[in-house]
Chains A and B, each alone.
Chain A
Amino acid sequence: MIDLATPEDPADGLAAVVALRRLAEQLEAAEVERAMRTGWSWPEVAEALGVTRQAVHKKHAKRLIAAGVELRRR
């Protein structure tokens, strides 16, 4: 079990929420990219993230195409 510390000061706790949201966004960008670079398909990535194919495609396709990542269609 992960022991998630409870900050004493609510300001620290709330700032942690902000930092975690940003980290999650950046981690998603990095990990979707890594998966697609290693040959995962959009449906596989979507299923792993628990979102629709359309959602993950809409969010990341342009960026990965611009970066020259070879994308599998399915």
Chain B
Amino acid sequence: MFNRFTKDARVIVRDAVEIAHELGATSVEAEHLLFAAARQRDPVAETLRWHGLDEDGLRHALDLERERSLAAVGISAARPAFAPHVSKPDFAHSSKAALEGALRAAAERKDTRIGTGHVVLGVLRARRGTVPRALGLVDIDQEELATAISAVT
């Protein structure tokens, strides 16, 4: 799957695993790919930042999403603190779907290589789930963001 990925896109995938691990997640989710993309120094990261999605902005959006989702069933809970997991997190469905989405985004644009922009476009293809909800809660228009990312990809 990764043979068509550029070096930078591979870095994002690798960083997403690290970020998921640092955050104490047991699996790599689509939002971890976004964190990894926001951490780079390229026009894609610049575009994310311009939309307020630097690492802090992304964390804030995800915190809001978590808070609101738990509140929907009457629960309010701090994030429990614990010693980090030792084993590397696995790729969850959301991140696998995002990487498949990256391939589709590239195919639609007739691009042969998969770059960081395609990975972000893959994440932004999701219509439901944690990332779309988090972006919606901080008033980010997902379609508009995808168009902006596409323009620098």
A residues bordering B, Cβ < 8 Å?
2-7, 11-13, 15-16, 18-20, 22-23, 25-27, 29-31, 33, 62-64, 66-67, 69
Contact = CB atoms under 8 A, between A and B. Distances in A.
Please name the 10 residue pairs, one residue from A and one from B, whose CB atoms are nearest each other, closest first.
Answer: A67-B83, A30-B80, A15-B69, A29-B82, A12-B72, A19-B69, A7-B72, A30-B82, A5-B74, A62-B86
Given A5-B73, A7-B72, A19 B66 contact: yes
A6 B25 CA distance: 27
Contacts of A18: 69, 129-130
A36 to B, nearest CB: 10
Q: Size band of the B side of the interface?
A: 20 to 34
A19 to B, nearest CB: 4
Nearest to A11: B128
A26 B69 contact: no
A26 B25 CA distance: 8
B93 to A, nearest CB: 11
A41 B65 CA distance: 37
A30 B87 CA distance: 16
